[in-house]
Amino acid sequence: MSDNILIFYGSYRSDRQGIRLAEYLVRSFRERGASPELIDAKVLDLPMLDRMYKEYAPGEAPPALEALAAKIKSADAFVFVTGEYNWSVQPGLKNLTDHFLEEWFWRPAAIASYSAGRFAGARAGLAWHGILSEMGMVVVSSTLAVGGIGKALSEDGEAMGDGGASLVKAFPRFADDLSWWTDAARAQRQRRAPPY
């Protein structure tokens, strides 16, 4: 069975370098036999959170929200690709994520962070760990952190230089960790219904 993985990316900047990491991940998971899909917050352009998906009456949510809710509910796993803004998370990705809650429950999530600098978005990755756990996901321990994003990945998302080589070396463990937890969560949901 092919794992259905949603890969979320949240930068709204005009010169988005992190999209390179998101595209690298889509391609790399596909090469492993998974079925990844990129969910780009800027393309979706959801409004600032006013009402969560669950706060709409059935059939009354905006079409983009309804479609994304269905994708999240049917996904096996999630990857959050995050840059770091002032030691914290990207507002676009956080806004997208906050539109949902129960839709995320009982599935694994992995975090891939990046930055132009040497800290590789690690502080944002750390913040996302707590956020995703609070939202009902099991966050895997393996992470990816790419510093110097513009020199580690080409505009086409191809690994290059020392940073790209490090990413290529780290990806298999990251993907294996997510795959293991995806299988475990799927088996448990089949064995027993979630408690809430």
Q: Is 119 helix (H, G, I), strand (E, B) or coil?
A: coil
Q: Is the pLDDT of residue 3 over 90?
A: yes
pLDDT value for 14: 87
pLDDT value for 86: 87
What does pTM read for this prediction? 0.96
Per-residue pLDDT tens digits for 150-181: 999 999 999 999 999 999 999 999 999 999 99
pLDDT value for 185: 97
Q: Is the pLDDT of residue 25 over 90?
A: yes
Mean pLDDT of 78-82: 98
Find the radius of gyration of the CA atoms of the chain: 16
- Structural domains of the chain, ranges and CATH numbers in brackets: 4-191 (3.40.50.360)
- How far is the CA of 18 from the CAs of 10, 36, 99, 150, in angstroms? 9, 17, 22, 8
